[in-house]
Amino acid sequence: MKLREGDKVKVIAGKDKGKESRIIKMFPTRNKAIVENVNTAKKHQSPLGEGQPGGIIDKDMPIDVSNLMLICKDCGPTRTGYTFDADGKKHRSCNKCGVAL
């Protein structure tokens, strides 16, 4: 999987199409990611304790990684590939400009 936690991504499909945000959590076995302020749902939560109020909260739900595109610092949303450096280490790279991500 070419996306990681902390990457800045753009949503390319779904109800939040066009939004840009950071990945909070990845689920590689399910091919899903939780992106900050994307695909939010209302959750009714009961009070958990003495000082915790209940109510309706917004919760970020997982979104499929096929609906996300990594953002390059130089050229914007792009496809990603892999390149190998002189030591033989594998790095993600931008397919448009070739910069290591």
Q: Quick one: pLDDT at residue 16? A: 92
Closest CA to 15 of 42, 39, 41: 39
Torsion of CA 85, 99, 8, 25, to 10 degrees: -10
Residue 16 in any domain: the answer is: yes
Output the domain CATH number for residue 85: 2.30.30.30
pTM greater than 0.85 (yes/no) = no
**53-68 pLDDT, tens digit each:** 889 989 999 999 999 9
pLDDT grade for 49, boundaries at 50, 70 and 90: confident
The tally of CA atoms less than 13 A away on the side-chain side of residue 88 is: 0
Q: Quick one: pLDDT at residue 51? A: 81
Residue 90 in any domain: the answer is: yes
Q: Are 41 and 61 in contact (CB under 8 A)?
A: yes
Mean pLDDT of 4-9: 93
| Domains contained in the chain, number | 1
